Amino acid sequence: MNDTPILLVIALVLSFTLILHLVKKRVNLGFATMGGGLLLALLAGLSINEITRVFIYALLDRATIELVVDVFLIIVLSKMMEEYGVIPKMVENLEKMIGSSKSMLFIIPSILSTFTATGAAIVAAPVIDTLGENVGISKARKAAINLYIRHSWYFVLPLSVSLLNAAYIADIPLIELIKAQIPITLACLVAGYFVYIAPIKVEKKGLSSSRSKEVALKALLYTSPLLLCVLLVIWVPFYIALIMACLLTYLIRDKDKRIYDVLVKGQAKGYNLIFAVAGIMVFKDVIQNIPGMQQLMQEITGLGIPVWLAGVLLAAILAFISGSTQIVTAMLYPLLLPLVPPQEIVALAMLIYTTGFTTYFISPIHLCQALTNEFFEVSIAELYREYYITVPVMFLSGLVTYFFLIS
């Protein structure tokens, strides 16, 4: 390498270090990635005018605006379903209809995975705790079920901000990334069922079952906003599907609250996600506008390191340290995806996402995990022992899928 690539490597390391440091200090991810992007641009020799142009273009780009709107509407839908009592009614009627604690241990975290707020696994924890007591499983097993079954859906769930963000950064249709990751979700759900649910033999005390048509219709009614959104996204833009789901949620609401109180009060933390995705898109554009960046990546891969292996190693490290898949996709997609043929972009995007998600999932600073451990009073070591089969399945299914897709 000549001096220019070496300087770019130093600039990237310093930029990534700044982002990780700021995230550790609980600075909003958007401001952290913008700060890292600014430092990278300055160290790479971009002028103030060039940096300003890149930032403005990134923020006004159609892809950024669409992503911000989508994320905003996801936040709105989650909050409306919670505040208007739709989620509690959905859970209540599903329990009445199904009647089996064993089945509900699989169904509840699956359905509540659509509630995507940061740390939202805690929403299902009290229900899982009661169901787990009914079948006599340990606290660590309850925690593992609550976390693993829920997160298995985030490879294909359109409501996942991380997945949506990944598709936009990679500049590939969301549905294409979802289709590539269906095998991972299926493998995880199968593993989760056979490791955590199938061994349950006898229920100490089951739920009372009501098979009445009225209960079934109510369960369908209160689940309908989620079903509508997931189905509509196949045919219409995601923001339209989300708007329709929000309107339906309002129409079937169980509680009367002012729309202002639902959407504005106490929402600062949720709306921080909007700044996060905007900052990520800025960082992506900074990397794409730095002269010599692609030459640098080509020289690195010219050392004999396969692009997929570089993606796996870097994604695993970044996600575990940062506790974020969005940092992984923001940093690695712009660097690595241009290095592979067009027909392999979706496969590599899937592999990087899956690897990053796997190590994010077990990261000590993964908020869902931390809150779940606190609720069930289990240590991280106890939880890791529950993961010895299921977490390797998560990663290996992605690796196998990658080689199948590029073959």
Quick one: pLDDT band at residue 206, thresholds 50, 70, 90? very low
Angle at CA of residue 134, ends 388 and 111, nearest 5°: 65
Nearest alpha carbon to residue 402 among 183, 192, 191: 183
Q: Is the model's pTM score more than 0.95?
A: no
- d(C-alpha 348, C-alpha 333), whole Å: 9
Average pLDDT over residues 196-206: 73
The predicted-structure confidence for 88-131, as pLDDT tens digits, reads as follows: 787 778 777 877 778 888 988 887 777 665 545 666 777 788 78
**Burial of residue 4, with CB atoms counted within 10 A of its CB: 0-12 exposed, 13-18 middle, 19 or more buried:** middle
Are 183 and 401 contacting, i.e. CB atoms less than 8 angstroms apart? yes
- d(C-alpha 319, C-alpha 327), whole Å: 7
* H-helix or E-strand spanning residue 280: helix 268-288
Helix and strand numbers (H, E) in the chain are 21, 0
Q: What is the DSSP string of 55-89?
A: HHHHHHSHHHHHHHHHHHHHHHHHHHHHHTTHHHH
Share of the chain above pLDDT 70, in %: 89
In this predicted structure, what is the pLDDT of residue 398? Answer: 97
Please check the confidence at residue 4 and state whether its pLDDT lies above 70.
no
Q: What is the DSSP string of 163-203?
A: HHHHHHHHTS-HHHHHHHHHHHHHHHHHHHIIIIITT----
Name residues whose C-beta falls within 8 Å of residue 237's C-beta, 6 or more positions apart in sequence. 66
Q: Which of 14-23, 68-77, 113-122, 223-232 has the lowest mean pLDDT?
A: 113-122
- d(C-alpha 212, C-alpha 379), whole Å: 42
Q: Which of 199-208, 236-245, 342-351 has the lowest mean pLDDT?
A: 199-208
- d(C-alpha 158, C-alpha 161), whole Å: 8
- Each residue of 92-118: b (16+ CB within 10 Å) or e? bbbbbbbbbbbbbbbbbbbbbbbbbbe
Residue with more model confidence, 73 or 348? 348
Are 323 and 366 contacting, i.e. CB atoms less than 8 angstroms apart? yes
Average pLDDT over residues 378-393: 92
The predicted-structure confidence for 53-84, as pLDDT tens digits, reads as follows: 999 998 998 878 887 888 788 778 877 887 88
In this predicted structure, what is the pLDDT of residue 365? Answer: 66
Residue recorded with tokens 């693993």: 148
Instruction: Check the CA dihedral 115-74-171-50 and report its sign.
Output: negative
In this predicted structure, what is the pLDDT of residue 211? Answer: 60
Per DSSP, the three-state class of 157 is coil
254: tokens are 């169980």
Distance set, CA 42 to CA 16, 38, 287 (Å): 14, 6, 12
The predicted-structure confidence for 323-346, as pLDDT tens digits, reads as follows: 788 888 988 998 899 989 999 999
The predicted-structure confidence for 150-197, as pLDDT tens digits, reads as follows: 999 999 988 788 898 899 999 999 999 999 999 999 999 999 999 999
